[in-house]
Structure 1
Amino acid sequence: MTVRTDGGLGDTGVFGREFDAIGRPIEVGTASGRIISVSFPETLPDDANGVHSLLDRLHEYLTGAEDDFGDVAVAITVPTDQREVLESVRNVPYGDEADLELVVRMTSGLDHEDEDDLQTARTALRENPLPIIVPDHRVRGVEGATPPDVAERLRDIEGIRAN
């Protein structure tokens, strides 16, 4: 399945919708048919466009449908080593979790015993431009870009239990 990023309104823009399941809105930025950003603002602008196929999928996911968003076309504009970390995080399956060391082991060119490489992974997760699509909430013991209360709710939705 391919996600239409135009919501029927063109393939570039910012779309947003309130989601009761997490108690806040989600905004999705698109460019050239790819998702470039996901954020959790406190409020949406009055003119926010809520018509987008990814927002529909997010609604289904937040109400219990299993979705790993692996087919979503993304454009991750971060340094190469950080992008590779984020691509590794995309491979952590729905309902599973990994620790930072495992994520670094999964990332080509990084060494899980090298503190600089571990810091690269921490930075990538903290600055993740695509939370949920790049599921930093599935990486335990490290701060991601997903707000903590939202990350906790996403782990609940996926059945990931805190250790």
Structure 2
Amino acid sequence: MVSMGTSGVFARAYDELDLAVEVGFAGGRVIAVSFPERVPEDADDDHALLDRIGEYLRGEPDDFADVAVGLTVPTDRRGVLEALREVRYGEEVSVSRLTRLAALDDNDPDDLELVSRSLRGNPIPILIPEHRVQGGPYATPASVHETVRRLEGL
């Protein structure tokens, strides 16, 4: 995994989204991605990951699999999000398929609800690509979700 910095908040506005992308790092790992309307005043805009996100938004394929992430979620949700991280650029899975990829039972309503909660609470969208799951729910704003699905041909 590529560690792309140390600690701090980095953000940049992207015309492709009409929003900014804000990335939080701790110990060289991405711990949060959000989409504020504008770049926060205390955020630095100079980071290699922001460059890559810009290239991705301009159509350059990237699944960000080499970017180190630090998931700060309960263990059961971590398993779902780690399974989701294995879904590559341009691929799409159903909620049922993701449930099975996470070694859960897609016939168990509790397991399906765990997957839904995990998607809704995904702290690192784009890098953990909930947009590759058909039928959501999603942590990203609808406009971001639609843009990145279109970019990946989904």
* Residue aligning to 1:93: 88
Whether the 8 Å CA contact 1:3–1:54 is kept in 2: the answer is: no
TM-score, normalized by length of structure 1? 0.91
**Equivalences for residues 1-163 of structure 1 within 5 A:** 2-5=2-5, 11-108=6-103, 110-160=104-154
Q: Distance in 2 between matches of 1:21 and 1:158?
A: 14
Whether the 8 Å CA contact 1:3–1:53 is kept in 2: the answer is: no
- State the AA in 2 paired with 1:45: P
- State the AA in 2 paired with 1:129: P
Q: Distance in 2 between matches of 1:75 and 1:4?
A: 12
Q: Distance in 1 between matches of 2:79 and 2:107?
A: 17
Q: Distance in 2 between matches of 1:133 and 1:36?
A: 10
Aligned length: 154
TM-score, normalized by length of structure 2? 0.96
Residue 148 of structure 1, CA deviation: 1.1
Residue 3 of structure 1, CA deviation: 4.4
Alignment partner of 1:104: what SS?
A: helix
* Residue aligning to 1:8: none
Unmatched tracts of structure 2, length 5 or more: none
Q: Distance in 2 between matches of 1:47 and 1:36?
A: 17
Unmatched tracts of structure 1, length 5 or more: 6-10
Q: Distance in 2 between matches of 1:78 and 1:40?
A: 19
Q: Distance in 2 between matches of 1:23 and 1:60?
A: 15
